[in-house]
Amino acid sequence: MNLEKDSGEPVVPDAAIDLRGVKCPFNFVKTKLKLETMESGDTLSVVLDPGEPIANVPRSVQEEGHTLLGVRERPDGLFEIIVRKA
């Protein structure tokens, strides 16, 4: 994932959470709670396991009205998503 701002600079998340090993639906709940502590327009990096977490969390944050900026599979087999808070 090579996300860039309009200026061409890379997007550096304002916050990050590592949810490896956290089962559904708790990984979405923890993501939602973290987003609630952030300002509108802030970005959050979330590390997720393959399978249900990467299938469900991105969809759920979008259903909540947030913007999914990107998804990438990491070399260790985990996934990282970047979310912009609505």
List of domains in the chain:
15-84 (3.30.110.40)
pLDDT at residue 3, rounded to an integer: 56
CB-facing half-sphere around the CA of 51: CA atoms within 13 A? 9
Q: Copy the structure tokens of residue 7.
A: 């200026």
Q: Which residues are catalytic?
A: 24
- Three-state SS for 5-71 is CCCCCECCCCEEEECCCCCCCHHHHHHHHHHHCCCCCCEEEEEECCCHHHHHHHHHHHHCCCEEEEE
Low-confidence stretches of the chain (pLDDT < 50) are: 1
pLDDT at residue 10, rounded to an integer: 72
pLDDT at residue 11, rounded to an integer: 74
pLDDT at residue 29, rounded to an integer: 97
pLDDT at residue 5, rounded to an integer: 54
Distance (Å, rounded) from C-alpha 34 to C-alpha 43?
11
